[in-house]
Structure 1
Amino acid sequence: MNRSKISFGKINLNPNKPAAAVETPAEIEDEATTSVNTGGGFKKMGKEQLIRQVEEVTDDMESQHLKEVMGISGFGRKTAKVFDINEQIAKAREVAPSKPRTDTDQRKAGEDDDSDDEPAFGPLPTDAVGAAADTNKQSVTKLKKTNADSDDDEDDDDDENSDDGGHLERKIPNTHEVQMQHGSRAVLALAGDPAGARLVSGSIDYDMCFWDFAGMDAAMRSFRTIQPCENYPIRALHYSVTGDMILVVSGNSQAKILDRDGFEKMECVKGDQYISDMSRTKGHTAQLTSGCWHPYTREEFLTAALDGTLRIWHGLKSKEQKTVIKTRAQGGLRTNASACIFNRDATLIAVGCADGSIQMWDTRKMFVNTTHCLRGAHQKGSEISSIQFSYLGTHLATRSNDETMKLWDLRKFKDPLHSWTDLFSRYDTTDCCFSPDDKMLLTGESLPKGAKEAQLHFYSTQTFEEVKRIGVTDSHVIKALWHPKLNQIFVGCGNGVIKCYYDELLSSRGAKLCVVKTHRKKKHTEMIGVSQIITPHALPMFRQEKSRSSRKKMEKERLDPVKSRRPDLPITSGQGGRVASSGGTLSSYVIRNLGLSKRVDDDQDPREAILKYAKEAEENPYWIAPAYKKTQPKPIFTESSGEPDAKKAKEE
């Protein structure tokens, strides 16, 4: 229904009353007025009429709320603001002075009250609230200016902090360090699970070690060591997004998927090396160089190899690739991919090639043509050993064996933002990584000739200056991993050592759980407290054995075959279902079961066993002698003198 436009005015005290008289609440209620715009001017409205108007507005708001719940909202009408008359009276009572005031003070108080009120149904007329509007505008302008100044000050502080090298240096967690021994050969791969509970390392000696921070003590020993790819070095390791699977990239052409404890779940199919078109084979045909998991798809991963292809694998049961991507050189010929990675939202695949180029493909399009391709990003013929996206996804860092590391902006991809030189590298798996806040970039260097210690370099991504340099070890620094959740830095070295840098205040869990645990040797004996009852006059069979020391008790239990679990002793003849070592032949079985009824010892000399019956056979022949007794001549044996006769001369 149509109503006239109502707007509430201020509630003032009556200025006509004497200043010395203090007004009571009842008088203030009688003097509370409001203005109604009827088109020709303003007129006063009583208290009862004001309450009636407020109740109607409240009913309209309830109906409006019901319409919004039912999906019928608004009709273009602005929501009315409700004023409680009792609340306005309470405010007026608080403003009421306790001492006489001049007209000027009352006028100022009235202007302050005007600045606090807001129109309920629309703007008030200009001539009625001009002063209040000016005051509101001035206060709003001052507030905006103050906020803008504070924002500028905060931006200035941020800029100063970002430009301050000491501020960045304090963010590096390197107050403490611990050392883990993987082996004696170079550590080529490092990976930490997303939760920060475990670490895996791979080496050139074919071993893969599992480190559990919650289960290790201060000795920092791995709980499992395996060789997943037989006699192939481990080139890259990567945890899946859920942390329950590990991608193992070795010198073989077949990548493997292991579960969290190191048991094999899948092995990629090997391609046919006699097919020239690599897109028609089911797998790689040459040595793998790099690989990584999809950022958010659980069973999808990417591998790169020296056959000039990248392959996207999906699913652990099919064991076949989903997509084949070919890397091309300047003239359209094949070039090999040395490093590959997804960006954080999996919309881009970036590849560093052997010809020094950086090529990218958009995963939302066909993989025929590159989305970004930069020829000559690095020196031709030197592998791009690492390529990394920043956490925000706007920057890209590349590390190459041409002793350089470059930072790129994807929004302006033609030229690098900065190039750091004199970073010697001997291994084609030397990598670089961003700090969790993207303000620093770190990489390691191989040990130059004549140097005593390899360095780990930290550079600012804003000022491009070196923030800090840490001496790691007397060997090469190959892998560097800055875990974002633990805020700890893990470094793989060329002598088989893995170093962990952390800060007591900035880092959490990880190596901090291990260094506080001391290694204790486990005792096999169980200490059981038994109360001893001393009975001096008891019979010998009821006397309780005196308590002895643990050493004497162990020596006594050692002599007991039951408590010491002594193995069965070797036997000379079968007993108790066991067969002697000499009684397992067929002849002994036949003799025992099918032959003589008497038992024959297999250890006895057979000649002696026969000759002991010679006297009995001569005196009482039974088997052979009676048959030839009549025709058999009497045997005559040559008597030997003990010394052989001289050889007779040959008769002529």
Structure 2
Amino acid sequence: MQRGKISFGKIQLNVNKTPAEPESNETAKRDEKESPNTSGGFKKMDKQQMISQIEDVVVDLESQHLKEVMGISGFGRKAAKVFDINEQIEKARITRPGLDKKKEEAKLEENEKGNEVEVEDVIGPLPPNAEEEKGKSTEAASNVEGSDDDSSDEDSDDEQSLAKRIPYTHEVQMQHGSRAVLALAGDPSGARLVSGSIDYDMCFWDFAGMDSGMRSFRQLQPCENHPIRSLQYSVTGDMILVISGNAQAKVLDRDGFEKLECCKGDQYISDMSRTKGHVAQLTSGCWHPFNREQFLTAALDGTLRIWQGLRSKEQVQVIKTRAQGGLRTNAASCNFNRDATLIAAGCVDGSIQTWDTRKMYVNTTHCVREAHQKGTEITSIVFSYMGQQLATRSNDETMKLWDLRQFKKPLHTWTNLFSRYDTTDCCFSPDDRMLVTGESLPKGQAEANLYFYSTKSYEEVQRIPVSNSHVIKTLWHPKLSQLFVSCGNGTIKCYYDEQRSIRGAKLCVVKTHRKRQPMEMVGVSQIITPHALPLFRQEKSRTSRKRMEKARMDPVKSKRPDLPITSGQGGRVASSGGTLSSYVIRNLGLSKRVDDDQDPREAILKYAKDAAENPYWIAPAYKQTQPKAIFSEKLPADEPTTKKPKTEAEK
């Protein structure tokens, strides 16, 4: 390939320039700097300028060669296009006629308010900062005007719109009992709700079958004399994990029938990894996020145990929780994250410990000592739906929000949240923008409240007074968009919104409770007349049991079927004769029984005299048409019969 020679410096000729043109000194100096070779000779050049000129020549040669090879015309650098701004504005006005109209409306509104606002011509999309400022100014103007547009509030990301996302416009109450409700769980589909209390009872609530009375359709005691501490539906909703004060967790089906009871370990073995199960009271438990047969339990024996399958009653894995010096500490709460890669436990020593499920459970993945006050239970530990944040609730009257990417310090700490139950929990809203928790009733306060906090600004969004008792469990169902709150007086309150909430309690409140119509009972007085005539005598009144026994003995009233035949051989046919025809003749054709050894000729001739005197069957039928019978005369007894002579052929 032939390439042009690289020359150092450029030779430029001022062809258009005449020598007679006057030129100022400044212009001459500028031209001399820009084109050092104007005079036709070579001048000394800087090193940087020389390198840049060499690069320009190389790029030009390469682009020219590429153009020749590919056959592309006009390949390379082109002069920049010159745009007419006025022409572009006119085109934009033609294509967007509504822009000027909006401008004029905005000017009129501002003039009415007395504010002078300049509305600039805007062509094309605005930059992000300008859009945010424009959105804020528009929202401020709408607040001044007093417009209550719900759709704009939902779309806006302002913190004030969070209060409108809470479904609490309507309220309905369900009565579990008279004691504190410690456990609450909702079906993933939103069809049912289960609750467990300190009085050992577990209630099942079916929203499709309840009426406005809100009564549970089933109540049982699955763990005998142990309080129900925690309940949770499996991911498919067909099984319920029951955590009680016992050392053995139970798995019930959807209707409350037991399917599995975990094994109990040997309390005399010091190494807890050698036992088949827990040896102390259970504190918490949860299902695997997407494995319907695996669940996790925590107990006061210092271990967390993973159970797999309903047939095998032994645990799969044992996780030990350790304190600062390596000693044993108990886990008060435990949970999986959304993708089941982490197991988190809140311990009694105030620490938060996590383990990676893809690794060995010997060492912790995260361990935050002194996350809460030492000696107080971390009653709840919950992962956000996105999985990047973690919320903890403790009996030290605090609730903390953590970021798993920066797990050394909490993002924020909310204080003055009194709690006296070791099952008080907290939960995230379905969009992870709010954190919800309840408080126990402090001394001197009339009602316990439900608090809503923002996870971005950490400010209190809403406070709802619930009851004159303690608030223990809080459940924000993501599918129903309803809030279920359990209280210390045995009541369960459901909060919902007519617009946002679907199904659930909305199905029950519209159904009226139908009372049974009372039956009219007419009392019949009996007059005792011992000497009355039989026609007017009344039977003695008997109890319904005796009347029933009497009607039972009557074959007609009781509709008794035919009794089986006990005599004879071969069943019913053999008892009536040897063949089927004999059975038909003797039971259907004849009313009297005929013995097999009777002479049939004698049996027929027995009716000959009666048939001759009183004909019934044949003679009356042919009486009108039958000709008179002519019989041959009888010969005397002593006269012999005439012999027939023989013919010639016979001879």
- Residues 145, 266 of structure 1: alpha-carbon distance in 2 compared, 3 angstrom cutoff: farther
Tell me which of 205, 208, 212 is aligned to 1:214. Answer: 208
SS in structure 2 opposite 1:402? coil
SS in structure 1 opposite 2:127? helix
How many residue pairs get aligned? The number is 424
Tell me which of 235, 250, 255 is aligned to 1:241. Answer: 235
Provide the aligned C-alpha RMSD in A.
Answer: 3.6
Tell me which of 146, 149, 171 is aligned to 2:127. Answer: 149
The yes-or-no answer on 1:398 pairing with 2:358 is: no
Deviates more, 1:157-166 or 1:370-379: 157-166
Cα distance in structure 1, aligned partners of 2:331 and 2:136:
40
Tell me which of 472, 479, 493 is aligned to 1:478. Answer: 472
CA displacement, residues 521-562 of structure 1 (integer Å, 9 cap, x when unaligned): 24598xxxxxxxxxxxxxxxxxxxxxxxx766999xxx9999
Cα distance in structure 1, aligned partners of 2:163 and 2:250:
39
Cα distance in structure 1, aligned partners of 2:72 and 2:477:
58
For structure 1, the residue ranges without an aligned partner over 5 or more in a row are: 1-120, 526-549, 577-652
The yes-or-no answer on 1:254 pairing with 2:248 is: yes
Match of 1:182 in 2: 176
Cα distance in structure 2, aligned partners of 1:155 and 1:227:
60
Give the Å deviation of 1:124: 6.1
Match of 1:355 in 2: 349
**Structure-to-structure mapping, 1:446-595, within 5 angstroms:** 446-522=440-516, 568=549
Match of 2:21 in 1: none
Match of 1:409 in 2: 403
Cα distance in structure 2, aligned partners of 1:234 and 1:378:
26
**Structure-to-structure mapping, 1:308-327, within 5 angstroms:** 308-327=302-321
- Residues 454, 155 of structure 1: alpha-carbon distance in 2 compared, 3 angstrom cutoff: same
The yes-or-no answer on 1:230 pairing with 2:224 is: yes
Match of 2:295 in 1: 301
The yes-or-no answer on 1:375 pairing with 2:369 is: yes
- Residues 287, 157 of structure 1: alpha-carbon distance in 2 compared, 3 angstrom cutoff: farther
Match of 1:333 in 2: 327
Match of 1:283 in 2: 277
Bigger-Rg structure (1/2):
2
**Structure-to-structure mapping, 1:114-129, within 5 angstroms:** 125=74
- Residues 503, 276 of structure 1: alpha-carbon distance in 2 compared, 3 angstrom cutoff: same
The amino acid of 2:436's aligned partner reads L
- Residues 566, 210 of structure 1: alpha-carbon distance in 2 compared, 3 angstrom cutoff: farther
Q: Determine if contact 1:430/1:478 at 8 Å carries over to the other structure.
A: yes
The amino acid of 2:447's aligned partner reads E
Match of 1:421 in 2: 415
Cα distance in structure 2, aligned partners of 1:189 and 1:270:
23
Cα distance in structure 2, aligned partners of 1:420 and 1:317:
44
Give the Å deviation of 1:125: 2.2
Give the Å deviation of 1:306: 0.1
Cα distance in structure 1, aligned partners of 2:498 and 2:554:
68
Cα distance in structure 1, aligned partners of 2:512 and 2:546:
32
CA displacement, residues 83-132 of structure 1 (integer Å, 9 cap, x when unaligned): xxxxxxxxxxxxxxxxxxxxxxxxxxxxxxxxxxxxxx997626999688
Q: With the length of structure 1 as denominator, give the TM-score of the two structures.
A: 0.60
> What is the identity percentage for the equivalent residue pairs of Structure 1 and Structure 2?
71
- Residues 150, 215 of structure 1: alpha-carbon distance in 2 compared, 3 angstrom cutoff: same
SS in structure 2 opposite 1:379? coil
CA displacement, residues 131-153 of structure 1 (integer Å, 9 cap, x when unaligned): 88989xx99xx9x9944626862
Cα distance in structure 2, aligned partners of 1:562 and 1:185:
44
SS in structure 2 opposite 1:170? helix
The amino acid of 1:172's aligned partner reads I
Match of 1:204 in 2: 198
Q: With the length of structure 2 as denominator, give the TM-score of the two structures.
A: 0.60
SS in structure 1 opposite 2:507? helix
- Residues 279, 463 of structure 1: alpha-carbon distance in 2 compared, 3 angstrom cutoff: same
Q: Determine if contact 1:163/1:463 at 8 Å carries over to the other structure.
A: no
SS in structure 2 opposite 1:236? strand
Cα distance in structure 2, aligned partners of 1:147 and 1:481:
43
SS in structure 2 opposite 1:153? helix
Give the Å deviation of 1:450: 1.0
Cα distance in structure 2, aligned partners of 1:377 and 1:510:
37
The amino acid of 2:127's aligned partner reads D
